[in-house]
Structures are given as structure tokens and as C-alpha cells.
Structure 1
Amino acid sequence: MNSHFSHKIIALLLVGALTVFSCKNSEKETTTDETVQSDSLVDTAPFFKLSLAQWSLHRAMGPDGNLSPFEFAEKAKEYGFTGIEYVSQLYRNQIEEIGLEAVLDTLKQKSSDHGIENVLIMIDGEGDLASPKEEERNEAVENHKKWVDAAAFLGCHSIRVNVFGSNDPEEWSKAAEDGLRKLAEYAGTKNINVIVENHGWLSSDPPKMLAVLKAVRRDNVGTLPDFGNFCIKRGNGERWGECVEEYPDIYKGIEMLMAMAKGVSAKSYDFNKEGYETKLDYPRLLKIVKDAGYTGYIDVEYEGNRLSEEEGILATKTLLLKSAESLN
């Protein structure tokens, strides 16, 4: 083979090798770019799911409102939520008119029609689970059982309960532990959690609340930390009204309650022109929730008066997403 021909073959081989190498590099660069874009999408996704607390619409769904509580799933879908958290007292009239079973059938169908997940039911007005009187506690337990059944029927994971009782710590602790244990034993047979919100009086004192919940010794008992409910004493000993004493460090309180959290409630009251809550440091609160390893639903519970209910709901939702993005 002459040398000129040999040189041509070598040159062709080199060109082919460079072409293959170039293609592989190009493929690698494309893959790397796609990976970066994919990772970027993952990083911007919130670490939690969004649900809507029905109390955010309590005026619209109340006696003077123009929205039926049966439209809850539809409105939540319209606002961009994937889950809903019911409030039992908002169905009082409907239950009196058509019965609880028919109400639940309607709610289940509505949530299915709109592709919305039923998360939990907040129970009010069914008696005091922490009453100092055992007979009253037992009656409250029996009253709550139908809501355990309702939650199981709807596919919820929990019912939220209250434990007001008395303001005497020792008396309250014993009574709350007894009432919660009895209800949780029944709820366990239905695979339903019994979760307690910091909702006033000693339930808004996290160390005391956690001591009670741990004493119950049941896996289906936990907390629903609420960003805003830390009033432990109100004027004239009332359950609601002007707060005269608040738990001193609500951020530490949320951190403590997250240890047994099976849900989280993002309370809001008002917003400044930059869109931040005027009373609560949402980025700080979201960091506490994230650091606890929580990845479940966070519900939006707007309670303000300046904005409309719809405006408040959307402002809270936007702030949650913005705060979560700042943590990535």
C-alpha cells in the first residue's frame, strides 16, 4: 500500500473518531441541560400539599351567606387546592333537613366529581372531651363517634377535636387524657386519627398539650398545629373574646407541636402591601414545618376582615407558596 493512500485512510479514521466524540459530547450536554431543568422544577415544588379549611368560607356558607356548604369542593378546585378540610358545624342545618347520611353521600359525590381529596373534619359543638365531669366526657365521646364514622366514609385521615375542659392544669390533664383515650380507641377501629388543635385555654400551651397526648399512648392521636391560636386565657374566663394572656413564644410552640403533627393549619389575618402576613412570620413558620420533616397537607384558614374571604384565601395560598420557594 503506497504511503499516500495510507495517509488518506488514517485521516478518514481520525475524522470519524472526532465526529463520534463530538456527538457523544453533544448528547452529554443535552442530557446535563435536561437534568438541570428537571432538578430546577423539582426544587421549586413545595414540600407540602395544599388544602382549604372550610372555616375560610364560614361567612359565605353561614346563615347570611350565599354559598352552599355543598359547593365546598367546587370552590376549592376553583382556587387551585387539591384537598379540603370540613367544619362540622357548617352542616348543622343540612343535617337537620336531610340527615347526616344524605349529607355525607352528597359530600363524597361532590369531592369525587371535582377530583378533590377529603383530608379531615373539624368537629365543634359535640360536647367537651376534657370536661371535669366524667358523665359529660363520656357523652362527648359518644357524640364524636358519628364523626369518626363520617371521616372514614369520606376517606379522611383524621377528625380534629377540642379539649377545653377547665383552666386547672392538673384537673384538665387527667380529664383530657381520659376523653381522648376513649375516643381514640374507637377511632382506631376505623383507621381514623384523633388530632387536637391549639384552640384556646390549656390546649394552646404546647408543653401541657403534648404531655397529655403522650400520656394517651396511642399512635392515632396527634396534633394539628395552628399558626395563630395561642391564647391561653381570655377576659372573664370566656372561651372566645379578648385575649388577656398568650403563650409567650408561638414559634417555639409550633416547633414543639410539630413533633406529633398529623396536619398543619396556616392561619392568616391580614397582609401588607408586599403580601406578607402582618402578625405571623410565614417564612419562619414554614421553615419550622419543613425542618420537622412534614410533607402532608397544609390548610389555608383565613380569618381576617379587611379582605374578602376569597381574597384572603388566595393571599394566604400565594404567601405559602412564596415562603416555601424561599426555603429551596
Structure 2
Amino acid sequence: MTNRRQFLAYGAAAAAATGLSSKFSFAADALKVTPPFKISLAEWSLHRTLRDESKGLTNLDFPRVSKEEFGIDAIEYVNQFFKDKAHDEKYLTELKQRCEDQGVKSLLIMCDGEGALGDPDTDKREQAVKNHHKWVDAAKFLGCHSIRVNAQSRGSYEEQMKLASDGLRKLSEYAKPHGLNVIVENHGGLSSNGAWLAGTIAKTEMDNCGTLPDFGNFYIRRGKDPEKYDRYKGVEELMPFAKAVSAKAHDFDEKGNEVHTDFFKMMGIVLAHGYHGYVGIEYEGGKVSEYEGIKKTKELLDRVAERIAQG
């Protein structure tokens, strides 16, 4: 049976899907005074630099680099860059202080490597939920609004939806008293099927369980027989549940546009759903340096915002 939240969410998605260009124009008229969205920086954009010990950059430097190098005052962490620090209050206090010194806001922690929240084995699924508890606690300490998790599972389409929604619901129940959201990114497998992930989130029936639509992670299967999902359709389907958005970028043309994703079209979809929060830069390309790629992505998002403001 379709619950009220699911009905409203899909109703909004259906409305947004019709007349998208006119809605984009409407958004432009309505947002001439206030910025249509805010820009944040995902730590994964610097993953090569952070892994290169010769660069001398660590997770503790992330707030400073974000502010000083790119003028971005909101950040999204990746847990693997401080994997053993979730319970280290001294470390987290230092990180929080560095954010405060720079005037930088901590938004979320992207969590990987903590087990499959949709594991068919009940004990393993329960353990995966518990493994994420420490990141909820760390996110709360740092002042974040969410942790980003994955929805790995195995089995049929319906079985995976049932299993993943169970793990996500239990984790969301833990996070709710802390005032934290549990958000899922399209990140491979069925999670890159927008309809499946939207249905899985709706099935949790938890208002603090949502999505983090990523512009580029729509490979359901890679390898010799790859299966891709339409990125625009996928973001359209995920936006009714979105509590954050990830602007994935790889390559740019001579005009500074991302060659794989039409950012103007994609941000039209995002704004048509009434989302005006943070859009996180996540540069993953290799043709230019990470620093240059971040700057190019920010320049592109700034141009999108400017065009909307101009109507």
C-alpha cells in the first residue's frame, strides 16, 4: 500500500517532470534576490591529494583548504580519511575547532566500508547497522545534518528493496533522536536505479531517511556488459527525498561545461523540486588536477546560478 509520504513524493516528482523548462523559468523569477542554491565541497574531490603522503594534506586540513583555496565554507567529509577517529573526542574536537576558526560548516559524513545495510544475513545486516552508529555520533559532534550511507544488498529487485529498507530504517531509528538524517547515494548496483532507490526510501517510512542524488553515479553494472540508468531520470526520481545533492564532474569542454552532464538541465531538475540547499562539488576527473577540477566545477555552478538569477 502506498503511504502518504510516498504518495506526496511521487506526486511532486510527477508534477516536476511536466513542463520542466517552464518551472526552471519560474524558479528564476522567484529567486532573483536570494541565491538559488549554496555550494559545498565533498572531500572525495581531493582523494588523490589526501592519499599522497608527500603532499602533507590530512583530513584536519580540509576546512582550511576548502575556505582558502576555493572560497567554499561548507564541507562534506569522507569517513575513510579519518577511519579510526570516529570515537576519538580529542581529534573530533580539533577538527571542529578548525572549522570554527575558518568559518566553515560541517554538513555530512560519507560512510563506506561498514558493511551492507541490506545484507541477506540478518546478523550481518544488524552488525552493519551497529557499525554505522559511531558515524552518527561523530556527525552529531561535528554539527552535521546527515551521514551518507550505501544500500548494498543481494537478491531479486523486491528482495533487495525489502532488505535494504530494513537496515536503513533501523539505522534511521538510531539517528532520529540525535537529529541526524541517514541519506543514500546512487552508488552502484540497484541503488543506481532511481525508481528502486526512491521506492526503498519510501518503504522505510522514516522522515529522516532520504537521498543524496549524485549527477554521475548511474552505473547499475560495469564491466563487459555495462548497464546504465538515465542520469536525468534518476535524479528526477530521487529529488523528492533529497536532503543533499552531489554535483559530480569529470571532464570539461573549451567553454567550461561538463561533457557528461548538462549542469543547466540537471540543476533545473533539482530546483524544480524546491531544493535550494547545498550542492556539493565532487570532482573525479583526471585530465586536470584536483584543485583545478574543483575550481572549474565551482565556476560552472556559479554560471548556472547567475543564469537563473538573470532569468
Match of 1:51 in 2: 40
Matching residue's letter, 1:95: K
Match of 1:70 in 2: 60
Residues 184 and 161 (structure 1), Cα distance of their counterparts in 2 relative to 1, 3 Å cut: same
Q: How far did 1:324 drift?
A: 2.0
Q: How far did 1:174 drift?
A: 1.3
Q: How far did 1:161 drift?
A: 0.2
Match of 2:4 in 1: none
Q: How far did 1:167 drift?
A: 5.2
1:169-190 per-position Cα deviation (integer Å, ceiling 9, x unaligned): 1221111011001100000010
Match of 2:243 in 1: 262
Is 1:91 paired with 2:73? Answer: no
Write out the 4+ residue segments of structure 1 that deviate beyond 4 Å after TM superposition: none
For 1:253 and 1:88, locate their aligned partners in 2 and report how far apart those are by CA, in whole Å. Answer: 26
For 2:275 and 2:244, locate their aligned partners in 1 and report how far apart those are by CA, in whole Å. Answer: 9
Match of 2:302 in 1: 321
Match of 1:310 in 2: 291
Matching residue's letter, 1:245: E
Matching residue's letter, 1:101: E
Indicate the larger mover: 110-119 or 45-54.
45-54
Matching residue's letter, 2:113: G
- Measured on the aligned residues, the alpha-carbon RMSD in Å equals 1.7
The one of 40, 65, 72 equivalent to 1:81 is 72
For 1:112 and 1:319, locate their aligned partners in 2 and report how far apart those are by CA, in whole Å. Answer: 28
Q: How far did 1:283 drift?
A: 0.4
TM-score (norm 1): 0.81
Total equivalences in the alignment: 278
SS of 2:49's partner is coil
Matching residue's letter, 1:83: A
For 1:181 and 1:327, locate their aligned partners in 2 and report how far apart those are by CA, in whole Å. Answer: 37
SS of 1:60's partner is helix
SS of 2:109's partner is strand
Residues 64 and 168 (structure 1), Cα distance of their counterparts in 2 relative to 1, 3 Å cut: farther
Residues 243 and 251 (structure 1), Cα distance of their counterparts in 2 relative to 1, 3 Å cut: farther
For 1:63 and 1:171, locate their aligned partners in 2 and report how far apart those are by CA, in whole Å. Answer: 41
Residues 62 and 44 (structure 1), Cα distance of their counterparts in 2 relative to 1, 3 Å cut: farther
TM-score (norm 2): 0.86
Residues 217 and 269 (structure 1), Cα distance of their counterparts in 2 relative to 1, 3 Å cut: same
Contact map agreement 1:302 1:312 (CA 8 A) in 2: yes
Is 1:134 paired with 2:146? Answer: no
For 1:281 and 1:316, locate their aligned partners in 2 and report how far apart those are by CA, in whole Å. Answer: 12
Is 1:246 paired with 2:228? Answer: yes
Contact map agreement 2:32 2:308 (CA 8 A) in 1: no
Match of 2:21 in 1: none
Equivalent residue runs for 1:168-187 within 5 Å = 168-187=156-175
Residues 210 and 80 (structure 1), Cα distance of their counterparts in 2 relative to 1, 3 Å cut: same
1:249-302 per-position Cα deviation (integer Å, ceiling 9, x unaligned): 211211111111000000000101100001110000111111111111110000
SS of 2:210's partner is strand
Q: How far did 1:44 drift?
A: 7.3
Residues 63 and 103 (structure 1), Cα distance of their counterparts in 2 relative to 1, 3 Å cut: farther
Residues 45 and 313 (structure 1), Cα distance of their counterparts in 2 relative to 1, 3 Å cut: farther
The one of 218, 226, 229 equivalent to 1:230 is 218
Q: How far did 1:168 drift?
A: 2.3
Residues 59 and 243 (structure 1), Cα distance of their counterparts in 2 relative to 1, 3 Å cut: farther
Matching residue's letter, 2:208: N
Q: How far did 1:95 drift?
A: 3.2
SS of 1:288's partner is helix
For 2:205 and 2:274, locate their aligned partners in 1 and report how far apart those are by CA, in whole Å. Answer: 22
Contact map agreement 1:59 1:65 (CA 8 A) in 2: no
Q: Point out where structure 2 has 5 or more consecutive residues left out of the alignment.
A: 1-28
For 2:85 and 2:308, locate their aligned partners in 1 and report how far apart those are by CA, in whole Å. Answer: 43
For 2:168 and 2:85, locate their aligned partners in 1 and report how far apart those are by CA, in whole Å. Answer: 25
Contact map agreement 2:107 2:144 (CA 8 A) in 1: yes
Bigger-Rg structure (1/2): 1
1:40-79 per-position Cα deviation (integer Å, ceiling 9, x unaligned): 9x73763111110000001111144511211000011011
Equivalent residue runs for 1:140-289 within 5 Å = 140-166=128-154, 168-235=156-223, 244-247=226-229, 249-289=230-270
Contact map agreement 1:283 1:324 (CA 8 A) in 2: no
